[in-house]
Amino acid sequence: MMHLARLPVPAPPARHETVASYLTRLGRMHNTPARELWEPVSTPLSGTNRRQVQIEGLAQLTGRPARQLMFALPELRDPAPTWAAWRHEPQRRCPRCDARHDGGPVQRLLPHHRYVCTQHRYWIGPPDADASATRLGNGLDDVINAQRRHLRLLRRHGSAAAYDAVLTGFLICGHIWDDKFGDWTAVTARWHERSTRLIPVGDEFRSFSASRIFACVYPEAVDLAELISAPYWRSLAAGNAEQQQRFLTEVARRFGRSHYSSQFDGDGITHWMKYDSWRPPSGPHKLFPDTRDYGATHPSKISGNTADRHDRSAMWFSIKRRGGGVLLHHRHIRPVLVREWSTPMDGIVATIWASRNTTQADQRDEPSNR
């Protein structure tokens, strides 16, 4: 590391900010390319174009105590965070939370359980091509309350169970909204109402984002997660026919139905009960240190392919006004769409079909002692 004089504006990092985001903001504030700030405070990572920041050098550059930098910047913590509890993609947070941080957009690493800023009523959602948070206006209090219930679920059952349960809830909601099996009119009407508030009819090409589709079903995904994460309800889902019907009756009650029975050829709920309910929670497929953003000298940009997929999704949503397909195709739910024990399928269409089907069983799909 070479010596660099302390910067005249000692701007603090945001909580959970990435190093690339922090140094990029500092560079803008001092009219200095971020690369020139990186080199004096970091060393190359062997065999890559990435760099490893040395906390003592960053403390000297910014005038900030090393302990404060370590607390704010997860990449610098020693010992390292439990990365499985964090999203692997940096993203923006609530704009009002970020307003006091100068130098441009703040990119943060957020824990898996953070979807809403309840203080300022903003949907943060999963990382998406549309990076901006969404203001939750009138009629969307249930989305905000779902975040509070999500946090209670986290405290009750732990991060691994909560992560798996909420993503599974999103997956099942995607099937219900997309496949139209059974009579789910009451719940799909709620999703349609929320979608008209978040993505107004006729304004899809400007206001559509996959993240907002996740917001439409978030309360019901948490409803399901409260059952999926609870040992008692999981035991019923994996039990005998009478116990399974008690589980399905509770799902139906929460979704505004008087009764529900498993479909002959399967559905998202039945598939989970048969193949997944008795398994341990599925974890993330990728951790932040395994991504291109770890040690990168600037925040990554949206690729052309990602932008094209966003535009196609907006077009189809403007025609159908159904968001199930958006949820099922989004990378956010991939850890529960393709589980460790899932039968390998050829392509995403077949993979989605398999995640609701119960007639094509693999030998490893059934426990030997059930």
**Where do we find the tokens 């009219």?**
31
d(CA 244, CA 352): 23
Q: How many percent of the chain have pLDDT more than 70?
A: 94
Range of the domain at 46: 19-80
Q: How many C-beta atoms lie closer than 10 Å to residue 84's C-beta? A: 14
- Do 197 and 320 lie in a common domain? yes
- Do 322 and 234 lie in a common domain? yes
Mean pLDDT along residues 219-243: 97
Q: How many percent of the chain have pLDDT more than 90?
A: 69
235-275 pLDDT, tens digit per residue, is: 999 999 999 999 999 999 999 888 887 765 678 999 999 99
- Do 169 and 282 lie in a common domain? yes
Q: How many C-beta atoms lie closer than 10 Å to residue 57's C-beta? A: 19
116 and 147 Cβ atoms separated by less than 8 Å: yes
Helix intervals (H) in the chain: 19-29, 34-41, 55-62, 66-72, 95-98, 141-157, 159-179, 185-198, 204-207, 210-228, 231-237, 241-254, 268-271, 304-320, 324-329, 334-337, 348-354
Comparing C-alpha atoms, which of 277, 280, 279 is closest to residue 243?
277
Q: 118 lies in a domain?
A: no
Q: Is the pLDDT of residue 49 over 80?
A: no
Q: 290 lies in a domain?
A: yes
Task: Tell me the whole-structure pTM to 2 decimals.
Answer: 0.92
Q: Which residues pair with 111 in a beta bridge?
A: 86
Q: Is the pLDDT of residue 47 over 50?
A: yes
Cα torsion through 367, 287, 325, 175, rounded to 10: 30
Q: Is the pLDDT of residue 293 over 60?
A: yes
The backbone torsions φ and ψ at residue 68, rounded to the nearest 5 degrees and listed phi first, read -65, -40
138-174 pLDDT, tens digit per residue, is: 999 999 999 999 999 999 999 999 999 999 999 999 9
More confident residue, 100 or 302: 100
pLDDT of residue 151: 98
pLDDT of residue 3: 60
- Do 74 and 159 lie in a common domain? no
18 and 34 Cβ atoms separated by less than 8 Å: no
Domain-terminating residue out of 80, 108, 130: 80
Q: 66 lies in a domain?
A: yes
The token pair at 47 is 């065999």
Mean pLDDT along residues 203-207: 91
- Do 205 and 61 lie in a common domain? no
Comparing C-alpha atoms, which of 129, 119, 144, 134 is closest to residue 197?
134
Mean pLDDT along residues 211-231: 97
Q: 245 lies in a domain?
A: yes
- Do 217 and 353 lie in a common domain? yes
d(CA 134, CA 148): 18
pLDDT of residue 370: 47
What is the overall mean pLDDT for the chain? 90
DSSP per-residue string spanning 195-254: HHHHS-TT-HHHH--HHHHHHHHHHHHHHHHHHHT-HHHHHHHTS-HHHHHHHHHHHHHH
278 CB-near residues (< 8 Å, 6+ apart): 234, 238, 367, 370
pLDDT of residue 368: 47
- Do 262 and 172 lie in a common domain? yes
Q: 137 lies in a domain?
A: no
- Do 214 and 358 lie in a common domain? yes
pLDDT of residue 323: 94
Q: 203 lies in a domain?
A: yes
Residue 345 CA, distance from chain mean position: 23
Q: Is the pLDDT of residue 1 over 60?
A: no
Mean pLDDT along residues 44-53: 81
Q: 25 lies in a domain?
A: yes
121 and 190 Cβ atoms separated by less than 8 Å: no
- Do 57 and 175 lie in a common domain? no
66-91 pLDDT, tens digit per residue, is: 999 999 999 999 999 999 999 999 99
Instruction: Give the range among 27-31, 47-51, 243-247, 269-273 with minimum mean pLDDT.
Output: 47-51
Q: How many domains does the chain have?
A: 2
Domain-terminating residue out of 80, 104, 132: 80
Q: 331 lies in a domain?
A: yes
Q: Is the pLDDT of residue 319 over 50?
A: yes
Pairs from 141-147 (Cβ < 8 Å, separation ≥ 24): 142/219, 143/116, 143/194, 143/215, 143/218, 143/219, 144/116, 144/118, 145/219, 146/115, 146/116, 146/218, 146/219, 146/221, 146/222, 147/115, 147/116, 147/118, 147/218
pLDDT of residue 369: 45
348 CB-near residues (< 8 Å, 6+ apart): 329
Q: One-letter amino acid identity for 189? A: A
pLDDT of residue 309: 84
Mean pLDDT along residues 207-233: 97
Domain-terminating residue out of 80, 105, 120: 80
